[in-house]
Structure 1
C-alpha cells in the first residue's frame, strides 16, 4: 500500500518542523516541550505558547543517555534524555520549559536529571483513576500547572483562554478520530505505517488550524480512494497494534507487518484514538473538565486499568480485527505485566490470535521479528 504522492515522509516533516520552530522562537513565541498523552495541551495553548512533542523515537541519541542511565532501561526514556542532553533535539533546545507527568518510575527519575538541563515541571499523576481523592488531586495539579505556566512564561491565563483552547483541541481530536476510523473500512485504504507516521508528523505542524485542515483533507482523499479502488476487493488479515508507543519501532515492526502481508487497521496505544475519542466537556468548568478528561486516559500506568480492555474489545469489533500484536518496549514493566491479561482477553474471550513482541529501538532483532510475524500472519490466514 503506497503513501500519497504529496505525502511528506517523517524525516522531511521533522526537518521542516525544526525550521518552523526556529522561526516561531525568533518571532517571540514561547515553547513548552511535552512528552505524553496525559499532558493538558489546552493549558499550554491558553498561555499562548506552542506545545511541542520532544524527540524520543530513535536510537540515535541512546548512547549519549547510556553514559549516565542504565543500559537496561526503557528505550523511550533513554532516547528522551539522550536527545536532550546531547542537544540533538532542536525542540528541547528551543523550549522555554518542559512539562512532564509521573507516568512511570523510570521517567520520574529521568525528569530529575532533565530538570538540571532545563526547568522541568512534573505533574503528579494519581496512581489510579478511582482511588480516594484521585480526581481532586489531579484537579489541583491543573491549577498548579496553570500557576507555573503563568510564572515561567510571564502570562495571565484566563478562563476564556482555556475555554477557547478546549474548543480548538476538541476540533483537532474530531479530525484525528475521523482519520483513524478510516481503518474500519474493509479492505482499508489506510496503511498502519501511514497512521503511525501521520500522527507523529502532524506534531511538526504547530498551527492547529492548519493541522486540522491537513488531516481532514487526507481523510476525504482516503474515503474517495476506498470507493474507487478498494470497495468490494478481498481483504488481507487485519491487525490491531496495542501496548507501548510504536514511533521508535516503526520501521522494523509496523512496516514489516504490512510488507509481510497484513494490514494494520488500528492502534490501541498512544499512537491511536485512545486520547482522541474522549473530548473535553465544554459545558463544565474548564479546569475541572480538563482534570476529568485527562484522568480517563487508559494507560497501563493506572491501577487498576479496566478501561484498556474495554477499549480493546470495542476496537476489535469495530475494526473487524483478525489478530492482535502487542509491542512491549524493553523494561516497560507496566505494559509487560498487563500483557498476560491482554493475551487472555484476546485469545479466550475474543478467540483471535495474539502475539507479544518484546523489543527495543535497535535493529538487532529485526530478523527474529520477521520470522515471528510471518508465522503469525499465516495463523490468521
Structure 2
C-alpha cells in the first residue's frame, strides 16, 4: 500500500521553474551547495534560499569527462558536467556556491569551477575528534558567515541565526519522525518513497508549506501503521542502505532491492538521514552550535569515522534489520575503504550481514547487481 500524500512529493520537481521565478520576484537569492557540510542555517539567516546542486544524473558525465579523469567518481563528473553545460537551473541561479574539501576529487573540481562561478570552499578537518579540530572548523564556519555577508550584502545577527536554527531544527525533527515510522513491521513507507520525500525538499522554497505537507504524510503513515499496513508484506526482508549519496537519478540499487521483494527501511547515506541526525543546540552561541552540529556528521572523509559504525549498530537494532547494503561509487576511495571497516565491525559485533555494491550511474551492471542482491536476500532469509 502506498500513502496518498506521496502525490505532492513526486510532483515537487515539476514546480522548480515557477518556484524560482516567484522567489526572484520576491527578491530572494539562491546559494548552491553539494554537500551536507554546508551550514544551511547561515544561508537561511541571510534571507537566501539554500539549494542542493545537480549531481545525480548520468547524462552530463560525458561532458564532465572532457575536463576530469574518467576514473573520478560519477558524482563529481556529473556535478561538473551539469555546471559547464548550464543544465542545472539551481547552479545557474545561485549567486555563489559553497564547496567543501571532503575528498581530493571535489577539491580539484571546485578549483576548476571557481574559474566561472563564484565559489567559497570550506576546509573540512580530517577528524571530528579533538579540540584543535573543533576550533578549526568553528573558524571555517565564521569565515563562511563573513563570505555570505559580503557576497549578499547582509548582516547575520544572533537573532537571525537563532530563527534559522529553529526553522531547520523543526524540519530535521519531522524527517526523523518520518524515518522512525519504519521501525514498525511492516514498514509503512518504501525506501524509494523515503528517497523521493527527501529529494522533494530540494525543490521546496517555502519551508513552512513543505513541513505542513510532511506532517500530513506522517499522519497518514501513522494511521497505516496502526492498521498494520505496509509498503511491502510483513515477511519482507528488512534492509538498511548506507554509503555514498544516492539521489533520484542514481537510485538503481534501492530500486533493485525493492523489486527483489525486500523492504528498504532506512537510508543512512548523505542524501538520506545522515543530514538530519542532529539538531543545532539553540542554547549555545549560534555560530559555535552550528559548527558543532555539522562536525558530528559521520562522513567517511573523517578518520577515524567511528560515529558511522556506532550509528549503524543502533539502526540495525532499532529498525529490526536483516541486512545492510553499502553502496560505493567507483572512484570513491574513502567509502570503498570504509566498507571493509564496516564489514569487519558488523562481523565482530555478531550483527547482520553486509553486501557492498560498487557501481556508477550507468545501467550496464543492473543485471549483475540484481543477481547479487537476490543471492544476498536468499542468504539473509536462511539466517
Is TM > 0.5 for Structure 1 vs Structure 2?
A: yes
Q: CA deviation at 1:9?
A: 6.1
Aligned partner of residue 98 in structure 2, secondary structure:
strand
Aligned partner of residue 18 in structure 2, secondary structure:
helix
- Aligned positions of 1:25-174 closer than 5 A: 25-131=24-130, 133-174=132-173
Deviations 1:61-116 (A, max 9, x none): 11111111111111111111111110110000010110111111100110011111
Distance 1:331 1:132 in 2: 32
Distance 1:352 1:28 in 2: 51
Corresponding residue for residue 344 of structure 1: 344
Distance 1:345 1:267 in 2: 19
Aligned length: 380
Corresponding residue for residue 208 of structure 2: 209
**Would the aligned equivalents of 2:245 and 2:269 in 1 still touch at CA under 8 Å?**
yes
Distance 1:9 1:347 in 2: 38
- Aligned positions of 1:191-230 closer than 5 A: 191-230=190-229
CA RMSD, Structure 1 to Structure 2 (Å):
1.7
Deviations 1:182-233 (A, max 9, x none): 11111101100001111011221011111211111111111111222428x7
- In structure 2, the gaps of 5 or more residues are none
Q: Does 2:302 correspond to 1:307?
A: no
Distance 1:287 1:205 in 2: 25
- In structure 1, the gaps of 5 or more residues are none
Q: Does 2:172 correspond to 1:176?
A: no
**Would the aligned equivalents of 1:22 and 1:94 in 2 still touch at CA under 8 Å?**
no
Corresponding residue for residue 188 of structure 1: 187
Q: CA deviation at 1:250?
A: 4.5
Distance 1:4 1:163 in 2: 35
Change beyond 3 A, Cα 1:5–1:198: closer
Aligned partner of residue 275 in structure 2, secondary structure:
coil
Change beyond 3 A, Cα 1:251–1:43: closer
**Would the aligned equivalents of 1:237 and 1:262 in 2 still touch at CA under 8 Å?**
yes
Aligned partner of residue 327 in structure 1, secondary structure:
strand
Distance 1:6 1:317 in 2: 28
Q: TM-score with structure 2 length normalisation?
A: 0.95
Q: CA deviation at 1:27?
A: 2.9
Distance 1:251 1:275 in 2: 18
**Would the aligned equivalents of 1:248 and 1:361 in 2 still touch at CA under 8 Å?**
no
Deviations 1:272-302 (A, max 9, x none): 3323121101101101111111111100000
